[in-house]
Amino acid sequence: MSDIGKVRLRLPSTIKVGDVVQVRCLIIHPMERIERDKAGKIIDKKYNYINKVVVTYLGKTVSTFDTTQSVSENPYFAFTLKATDPGTVTVTFHDTLGGKYEGTAQIAFG
């Protein structure tokens, strides 16, 4: 799909100070799997898949995930964090071909 790297982030619609909120995100990415030739031999090439996900909140890295090819195409990630201050949550996806894709969401208290 031509949309490679599109990221969508979602937070609960209302957040109160101190809430543990679930952040959900989806990235459009092919997450290439091992391919084999007709003889069953693994084709040697640089496979494109996301191998690192970094979460920052209020400018600080709060979590990193190391991911492998076992993660599906167009993967969905969800995690929780404690909403202490209003600010930006950024999720950055890095793939093996050097691609860097970012999605952001604003934590605001209503």
Give the binding site for another protein (CB under 8 A).
1-3, 6, 8-10, 24-26, 28, 73-74, 76
Contact 82, 18 (CB under 8 A): yes
Contact partners, residue 60, CB within 8 Å, separation at least 6: none
State the nearest-atom distance from the C-beta of 4 to another protein, in Å.
Answer: 11
Based on CB atoms, which residue is closest to another protein, 10 or 84? 10
Distance CA 38, CA 25 (A): 37
Based on CB atoms, which residue is closest to another protein, 26 or 62? 26
Based on CB atoms, which residue is closest to another protein, 2 or 59? 2
φ, ψ at 92 (rounded to 5°)? -115, 130
State the nearest-atom distance from the C-beta of 73 to another protein, in Å.
Answer: 5
